[in-house]
Amino acid sequence: MINLNEVGALPSYDANGIAEIRFGLYLPGIRAKDGFSVVVRIIHAEDRFNPLVKAQDEDLRAEGADLDLWSANVALASGGAGHSGEE
C-alpha cells in the first residue's frame, strides 16, 4: 500500500531555522541493487534562468524494497550567489 505521507516535496525548517525539503518518490522497478541512482536537482524559482547560479544536486536513497521508495531530507544551501534557503 502506498503511503501518501512519504511522497512529494515537503518543505520545513529544522530546529536551527535552516530550510529543508523532504523528497519522496515511488519508482517501481528502479532499484539501487540494479545499479540505478536517483538525483534531485534543486534551484530557487528566482534563479531558474540565471546561469551564474548552480543547482543543488542531491542523491535520493532507496528505501523499502516492496514499493521502491526513494527519499532524502535535504538542507538547502544558503549564502551563495542565488536565493537558495529563502522562501
Where do the structural domains in the chain lie, given as residue ranges? Answer: 4-75
pLDDT in tens, 50-61: 999 999 999 999
Distance CA 21, CA 67 (A): 21
- Give the SS3 label for residue 12: strand
Residue 65 — very low, low, confident or very high, per pLDDT cuts 50/70/90? Answer: low
How much is the pLDDT for 66? 72
Give me the pLDDT at residue 30, please: 92
C-alpha cell at 63: 528505501
Average pLDDT over residues 25-38: 93
* Model confidence at 64: pLDDT above 90: no
Which pTM value belongs to this model? 0.82
| pLDDT exceeds 70 at position 3 | yes
Given its phi and psi angles, is residue 45 left (phi above 0), alpha (psi -120 to 50 degrees) or beta? alpha
